[in-house]
A and B are shown apart, each in its own frame.
Chain A
Amino acid sequence: MDLSLVAILLGLGMLAALATGIWVAVALFSVALAAMMFLVAAPAGPVMATTVWGAANSWDLTALPMFIWMGEILFRSRLSEDMFTGLSPWMRNLPGRLLHVNILGCGIFAAVSGSSAATTATIGRMSLPELKQRGYDERMAIGTLAGSGTLGLLIPPSIILIVYGAATEQSIARLFMAGVLPGVMLCVLFMGYVAVWAALNRRKMPDKEEATPFVQRLNATRRLFPVIGLIVGVIGSIYAGLASPTEAAAIGVMLSLLLSWASGTLNRDSFVGALMGATRTSCMIAFILAGAAFLTVAMGYTGIPRELAAWIGSMNLSPYALLIALTLFFVVLGCFLDGISVVVLTTSVILPMVEQAGMDLIWFGIYLVLVVEMSQITPPVGFNLFVLQGMTGHNIFKVARMALPFFLLMIVAIVLLVAFPGLALWLPQAMQGN
C-alpha cells in the first residue's frame, strides 16, 4: 500500500480514537500498535515493552513529578493571599492598576509552578473576588487572568518543557533558560496592553485608591520574600549549574513544605492531598509520554515522518511559510486537544520535518510552548477556560471571548520570537559560555 495513504489512514484513526473519547495515552498506544502490526515485520509486543521501559525509567523525567508536587503544595499554601497583598500596593499608580496584579502574580507564580491551570487557580482565587469587589471591569479581570495564567507553561519550571525535553532528548536545563526571556516578553506585552486599555477606557476603571506610604508598601511586600527565595533557590541553582533540574525540583519540594509549614497551612490533609494530586497528575502525563515514546518508535519503523519531511522539503517552503502553516495547524489542533497531547503528537510525527527545515530544537520547543499556551484559552477544549469556568460560573465560550485580546497578543509574541530567535537562544548560550 502507498505510504501516504497509510499515513492518512493512521491520522484518521487517531482522530477517530480521540474523538470517541478514548484516553489520549491509550489512543497513542493503539495507533502505534496498529501501525506496527500491519506495516512492520518487527514484533510489536516486545518493541512496545522495551520502548516504554526505556522511556519511563529516566532520571531527567524524575523532575516532572517533583515540580508537579511542588506546585500542588504551593497551591494549598497561603501564597495566593500573600501574592495579592504583596503586589497590589505597588500597582496602584500604574495605568490599569490592580489588573497588573493578575499578570505579575501569574508571572511570579509561574516561576515556582510548571502548570498553567495551577497558576490560574492560585492567583485567581484571591484576585478575582478582590477585583470584583473593587469594581474592576469583569471582562478585563477574567481576561488578564486567563491570558497570564498560561505563563505557567512558559516560565520555568515548566511541565510541558520537561515533556518536550524528554520526548526530544533536549537538555531540560537549557529549555528552562530559553523560556525566561519569552516569558518576560509576554508579561510586558500583557501589561502594556492593560495600560493602554485602561488609558482608553477611563470610565470603566474604578476610582483611584489612596496610595500607600512607601514603608507600608515595603512591609506588605515582605510576605513575598519566601516565594522569591524559592524562585532564586530552585531556578537559580539550575541556571548556575549547581543542580540538575531533578535535584532543584526535589529541593523545591522540601522548601515548599517548609514554606507551607511556616505559614501554618501544612497539615495532614494538605500534605496527603498534594502528594496524591501530584501522584495522579504525573501518572497521567507519564502514561501519555509512554504512549508517545512507542508512537515515535512505531512511526520510525514505518518511515512516515521521514517521508513527510522529504515531501515538505521538496516543496521548498521558506521557514516562515512553514511556521505560518504549522501555527495554523497547531491552533486548530489546540482547540480540541490539550497541550501535552499536541506536544507529543508533534514530537512523534513532525519533528524530522522541523529538523529538516533547519530549526533549532530548543527554539522550536519555546515556539511550541507558546502555541500550546494559546491552546489553553481556545474553546471548546482549553484547560484555563475550564478552570475559570469553575471559578466564575461563566461558560467557556464567554471566558474565551474575554481572553481573546490576550490570544492575539500571543500571536504577536510568536511573530517576535520568529523575527528574533535570540529571545529564546541568547540566554542558554550566554549561560553555557560560563
Chain B
Amino acid sequence: MRQALNTLYRTATALAACCLLTIATLVAVQVLGRLFDWIMMTAGFEPLGIQVPSLAEIAGFLLVGASFLALAGTLRNNDHIRVSMLLQAVPAGVARLLNIWVIAIALALVAFFTWNAGLLAFDSYEFGETSYGVIPIPLVLPQSVMTLGLLVFSISLLDDLVLSLTGRAPSFEAVVKADPIEGKE
C-alpha cells in the first residue's frame, strides 16, 4: 500500500515535470523556427513558415498539467509555503494537533475542489467544448488532468491525515533539505 501510494505521487510529479519539458521544447522550436525563417528571408530565400500551431493554448494547457499534477509531490517535499512560526514555538503535542487541523482543513478544501473541477470537466465533455485555436482541443482533456492532479493531492492529504492521527509524522514534516534554496521564491 505504502509503495503503491508513493509510486502514485512520484508518477504524478514526474508527469508534471514532463509537461514543463514539453513547454520548453515546443516554445524553443517555435522561436528557432522564426529565427531560421528570418535568416532565410534575409538571405533572399522563401521562408519555410515553421511554427507550432496553437502554441499559446497548448502551453497554457500543459502549464495546468504541470501545476496540478505536482501538487502532491510538492506537499511531500514540504515546498508549499506556510507560516510555521507558531508550530515551532508550541510544545510537540500542540504542534501535532495543529498539524492535524491544518491537514484536515486542506483535505476538506481540496476534496471539494476536486469534485467541482470534475464537474467542470464533465460539463465541457457534455457540451463538447473545445479551445478556439487552429487545433480545436476538447477542453475536457486538460480539465480532467487538473481534476486528476487535485485527486492525487486529496489522496496524499488523506494519507498524511491518517499518519498524523495515528501519531506518526506527516510526510512534509519528515523532509530534510540539503539544499537551502529549493522551494523558495
Interfacial residues of chain B within 1-60, with CB under 8 A of chain A in the complex? 13, 16-17, 20-21, 23-24, 27-28, 30-31, 56-57, 59-60
Chain A CB within 8 A of B85 CB: yes
Report yes or no: A56 in contact with B185, Cβ–Cβ below 8 A.
Answer: no
Residues of chain B within 8 A of A18, CB atoms compared: 82-83
B49-73, CB under 8 A of A: which get 1 and which 0? 0000000110111111011101101
Report yes or no: A59 in contact with B60, Cβ–Cβ below 8 A.
Answer: yes
Interfacial residues of chain B within 130-185, with CB under 8 A of chain A in the complex? 142-143, 146, 179-185
Partner pick for B119 among A46, A75, A246, CB 8 A cutoff? A46
Given contacts A21-B86, A243-B31, A282-B67, contact A57 B61 (CB under 8 A): yes
Interfacial residues of chain A within 365-386, with CB under 8 A of chain B in the complex? 380-381, 383, 386
Report yes or no: B116 in contact with A48, Cβ–Cβ below 8 A.
Answer: yes
Chain B CB within 8 A of A390 CB: yes
Report yes or no: A20 in contact with B102, Cβ–Cβ below 8 A.
Answer: yes
- In the assembled complex, how far is the CB of residue B4 from the closest CB belonging to chain A, in whole angstroms? 21
Residues of chain B within 8 A of A280, CB atoms compared: 13, 70, 73-74, 77, 79, 182-183
Nearest CB in chain B to that of A18: its residue: B83
Report yes or no: A115 in contact with B30, Cβ–Cβ below 8 A.
Answer: no
Cα distance, A355 to B77, chains bound together (Å): 39
Residues of chain B within 8 A of A337, CB atoms compared: 83
Chain B CB within 8 A of A42 CB: no
Identify the interface centre among A33, A59, A387: most chain B CB within 10 Å of its CB.
A59
- In the assembled complex, how far is the CB of residue B7 from the closest CB belonging to chain A, in whole angstroms? 16
Chain A interface (Cβ within 8 Å of chain B)? Answer: 17-26, 29-30, 33, 45-46, 48-50, 52-53, 56-59, 61-62, 65-66, 69, 75, 115-118, 120-121, 153, 159-160, 243, 246-247, 250-251, 253-254, 275-288, 290, 336-341, 380-381, 383, 386-387, 390-391
14 CB contacts below 8 A, A to B, read A30-B105, A65-B63, A118-B181, A254-B24, A275-B21, A279-B13, A281-B183, A281-B185, A282-B67, A283-B67, A284-B74, A285-B185, A383-B184, A383-B185
